[in-house]
Chains A and B, each alone.
Chain A
Amino acid sequence: LAKTTQPISMDSYEGQEVNITCSHNNIATNDYITWYQQFPSQGPRFIIQGYKTKVTNEVASLFIPADRKSSTLSLPRVSLSDTAVYYCLVVTGRRALTFGSGTRLQVQP
């Protein structure tokens, strides 16, 4: 399984754009990248996933460079409610997800 490395924590202010970068140097050809958000005492919530280049949905964008050894989750104009832990995962086939330590994002007013 491809191991992921992401910052333990990040701080931001309301209205700012937040970029969380994750490295996954040994990602395999068929793997794709997925990001989850988790609030305290709740299960992880799917945010976005992608294989290469850029993916955008209503809540976030995901940038994946050509070598796919890293990815960046971009949250536009964060609010206090975006304070959460964000997990970057590399997915292989239909399998259980292996969670790393995640990034604890704290948004200040």
Chain B
Amino acid sequence: GAVVSQHPSWVICKSGTSVKIECRSLDFQATTMFWYRQFPKQSLMLMATSNEGSKATYEQGVEKDKFLINHASLTLSTLTVTSAHPEDSSFYICSADGLSGDSPLHFGNGTRLTVT
């Protein structure tokens, strides 16, 4: 089945630094990838839609200059949290779409970001 890999699975960084999270589709080409954020005991919230070779589309309230998304290839999208602050601590999850028809979207296993 379709596999989506995220790296790292967890990261701890100091306030003010930047962190990059990778999302890879391992056995298919993903023209579109989606980035979500999930706070404890809450549901997943869509942050942005990433299209290969074009600019990402951000959801309302998500700062595009803070959450930089790059989708340079059909198998890789990256999310960079710039100048991270403790309130950016969260669980970040990606999903990838490249399959045809009504095939379900598959998700990565998430990245736990802790900003100290």
Binding site for B on A (CB under 8 A): 32, 34, 36, 41-46, 49, 87, 91, 94, 96-102
Contact = CB atoms under 8 A, between A and B. Distances in A.
Interface string B1-21: 000101000000000000000
A53 B34 CA distance: 30
Interface residues of B, number: 23
Interface string B85-116: 00000010101010000101111111010000
A96 B110 contact: no
B112 A45 contact: no
A108 to B, nearest CB: 20
Q: Which one of B91, B97, B105 has the greatest number of beta carbons of chain A within 10 Å?
A: B105
Given A42-B109, A43-B93, A43-B109, A101 B104 contact: no
Judged by DSSP, the binding face of A is loop
Interface of B: 4, 6, 32, 34, 36, 43-46, 49, 91, 93, 95, 97, 102, 104-110, 112
Contacts, number: 45
B43 A100 contact: yes
Given A97-B95, A98-B46, A99-B44, A46 B104 contact: yes
A43 B110 contact: yes
Given A42-B110, A49-B104, A100-B43, 8 more contacts: A32-B102, A41-B91, A43-B4, A43-B107, A97-B34, A98-B46, A99-B36, A99-B44
A80 to B, nearest CB: 20
8 contacts: A43-B6, A43-B95, A43-B107, A44-B107, A87-B43, A96-B34, A99-B36, A99-B45
A83 to B, nearest CB: 15
Lowest 10 CB-CB distances: which A-B pairs, in order? A43-B107, A46-B104, A99-B44, A96-B34, A99-B43, A43-B110, A43-B109, A43-B93, A44-B107, A96-B46
